[in-house]
Chains A and B, each alone.
Chain A
């Protein structure tokens, strides 16, 4: 019976007619369409006044078709029933069994395939006279879909004898199967935290399942707060269940409860047992949850930051600048070296804290940022490239008299006063920004996910680490005395130290080439030549000072104009890449195809990422293992800004790349692989996926 407007509008009148004509209607308790057989079942063969009589609407569907849960998901419509009951009888709400998650193309529906019984409690009034049978009718309308949808409706009727109160009703149907599919109370109190684009559901409880959980997903009771088709991630942190639920089109109002179902499946030996848990989660605020792996404490983050800061001194972008400062100390500082060391430290700390403050402020404004994000902007890369080039040319002796904009680094580093020393500290932080030392990643990931005070503490540790060698040398200048006496060797060392800077510049150019393509790169290179020419001109001992400045200034301004032009260049369309491009949806789709998925979040400017790819991800053995096990390999490229990737990194407590995730087949949250990979480690992880 398909939908008919006229029939439906006349139904109440028809019903009335039927009932007034006779007590027995020539009606049916079941109906059949091409897809559905529906029947109306009373739990007991008689109605007893003053009791609740449960009625069941039993749907049987042909394969591949489904009807819907109360929240149908991305599309669809829940079944509806309009009861025609004797006076003063009352029907309650439908008790919905735990639904299935039904993907339809890129969309997701919640509903039932096969068969389902929707139970409704009907109150029989105490004053109902016994003896005379009563008629009960249900006008049911439902939408049945495979991919296409058909709205259908039926009128179902039964007649029930009424027995006096106290009688023991005869059970006609076992409703136990239906009740077994009802969701049960969650084993613990639930709460949720707000994240930028998701809610994190948190339930502190055990007892979800007896066997290992094979899948877990959440469905909100109503449309809006949670997006059905976006991938949810879940994990256990000890006894705490954490599920990340991407928000839907109508996010929850502030302070509202999140009501829904958590559907947990466990893989038994040969079948899957699925249970639904009722969730009513209270808002817990918006503090991010701590990262799960490895358990980073503030003390550990502090230590790692200190160590990372120390190691930053050895990075090719920082080493030359600091070496020059040390040489300056040798030559000039004398007995004020301790003071200089501390002032340098103050410069480093001040700029580190300024950077931390800026990050905190931007994060409070809702931006999702991570360390190294500044390199996602081509202008910043070019600016750093120019800075490295200028410092390098200075060390090479191309120009030595600092004046104007380009001489700023050189002037400040060689300035004799304490002000110059402070500026060197600031410069050290600026040149350090493109470099990430080992140990820094974990510490910064922690720092960026914590309250402001802890963020500041970790950045302080990083600054102290960076400044420590110079401070120590200042306090114990005798160590400087171990160096040979000042002489021509210093000029040679100076010249030699230009090369790490050129190397950094070359690397920045390579990063840039991936961001702006060949033409953008060409513009940036032209700008570099202009800049070098301008700086060289500045260094020439010409008589007309003013003219020299004007010419050099013009050249440098021109190079900056080219920087802007190059920064505007559109990125090259993706370079040939063996790996597929990452998206949450792609991961979910592959998992549903029963594929395991290895995800590599990387960026051209991330050296650790490139090393890992070389030694552990693209080796023959790993490729073969991926092929043999049918593991899909996806790459998320963070070379340029990508909010989706930033969010994904945050979900795993990271503020930057690399991040490696290995998803199991079917459903479930991924294993997070370490930041430093080896071939053995990847092969081990791959061999584990089919053993769970």
Chain B
């Protein structure tokens, strides 16, 4: 009897032993971040809604490509109108490129007419490291059940040239549509491109 219960426990241990790296289809790492208005956002609070994470750094030429062209703002509006939560995350350390105060971040949002649900300041880089965010932009989609559905680039052409946006295959919005339709994402992992995150 004791052996039986010990073996059951062993099976339980194995069932809960997950890999360390991020994997599509597995629960996305839980985090709590503070936004520019001092509000706290915890990933699991959004259960029931897909969440998009966008790593950003307003001085990075690759980020500028997508903001100056209006592409990023357009995607933010489309996604939030569909009912998704869009979190822009800034993981630049103090003193490094892209690091901003809450006021500066809000000013940037206003000036660029950006429309994220919130801008999270992650200056110690905890959330960035948790997700292995490497570039700006680096995009992640978490489905309504809290599982990771997509990670990678914003589109298929790794360049800083805005002229490439229209030629590129879009990754984020099509993936979001698939997630919201309950379908698997066609390409769940793509190469993120851009500047390094300034940890």
A interface residues (Cβ-Cβ under 8 A, vs B): 3, 5, 8-9, 74-77, 104-107, 109, 141, 143, 145, 147-151, 196-197, 223-224, 229, 247, 249-250, 351, 358, 362, 365, 367-369, 373-374, 376-377, 379-380, 383, 387, 405, 408-409, 426, 430, 433, 641, 643-644, 647
In the assembled complex, the Cα of A351 lies from the Cα of B199 at a distance in Å of 52
**Judging by beta carbons under 8 Å apart, are B196 and A107 in contact?**
yes
Q: What residues of B have a CB within 8 angstroms of the CB of A3 in the complex?
A: 61, 160-161
Contact sample, A vs B, 7 pairs, CB 8 Å cutoff: A74-B134, A76-B195, A149-B62, A151-B61, A151-B159, A249-B152, A374-B10
Is B103 an interface residue, CB under 8 A from the partner?
Answer: no
Q: Is the interface of A mostly helix, strand, loop or mixed?
A: mixed
- Smallest Cβ distance from B16 to chain A, in angstroms? 8
In the assembled complex, the Cα of A387 lies from the Cα of B3 at a distance in Å of 11
Q: What residues of B have a CB within 8 angstroms of the CB of A250 in the complex?
A: 189-191
**Judging by beta carbons under 8 Å apart, are B13 and A377 in contact?**
yes
**Number of interface residues, chain B, beta carbon within 8 A:** 48
Q: Which of A5, A147, A367, A373 contacts B163 (CB 8 A)?
A: A5
**20 additional contacts, CB 8 Å, given A76-B195, A377-B12?**
A3-B160, A5-B162, A9-B163, A74-B134, A105-B197, A105-B198, A105-B199, A106-B125, A107-B134, A107-B197, A148-B60, A148-B198, A358-B10, A374-B10, A377-B9, A379-B9, A383-B2, A383-B5, A408-B1, A643-B18
**Judging by beta carbons under 8 Å apart, are B196 and A105 in contact?**
yes
**Judging by beta carbons under 8 Å apart, are A147 and B198 in contact?**
yes
- Smallest Cβ distance from B105 to chain A, in angstroms? 18
In the assembled complex, the Cα of A141 lies from the Cα of B157 at a distance in Å of 14
- Smallest Cβ distance from B188 to chain A, in angstroms? 9
Is B114 an interface residue, CB under 8 A from the partner?
Answer: no
**Judging by beta carbons under 8 Å apart, are B6 and A383 in contact?**
yes
**Judging by beta carbons under 8 Å apart, are A641 and B199 in contact?**
no
Task: State the 7 A-B residue pairs at the shortest beta-carbon distance, nearest first.
Answer: A75-B196, A151-B160, A105-B199, A74-B134, A223-B191, A149-B195, A75-B135
- Smallest Cβ distance from B6 to chain A, in angstroms? 6
- Smallest Cβ distance from A369 to chain B, in angstroms? 7
In the assembled complex, the Cα of A647 lies from the Cα of B18 at a distance in Å of 12
In the assembled complex, the Cα of A387 lies from the Cα of B6 at a distance in Å of 12
**Judging by beta carbons under 8 Å apart, are B196 and A147 in contact?**
yes
Q: What residues of B have a CB within 8 angstroms of the CB of A74 in the complex?
A: 134-135, 196
A75-B135, A149-B61 given as contacts; is B6 within 8 A of A374 (CB)?
yes
- Smallest Cβ distance from B153 to chain A, in angstroms? 10
Q: Which of B7, B13, B129 contacts A376 (CB 8 A)?
A: B13
**Judging by beta carbons under 8 Å apart, are B9 and A358 in contact?**
no
Minimal Cβ-Cβ distance residue in B for A365? B14
A107-B196, A145-B195 given as contacts; is B1 within 8 A of A367 (CB)?
no
In the assembled complex, the Cα of A9 lies from the Cα of B167 at a distance in Å of 13
- Smallest Cβ distance from A78 to chain B, in angstroms? 9
Q: What residues of A have a CB within 8 angstroms of the CB of B2 in the complex?
A: 383, 387, 408-409, 430
Q: What residues of B have a CB within 8 angstroms of the CB of A433 in the complex?
A: 6
Minimal Cβ-Cβ distance residue in A for B198? A147
Q: What residues of B have a CB within 8 angstroms of the CB of A380 in the complex?
A: 6, 9-10
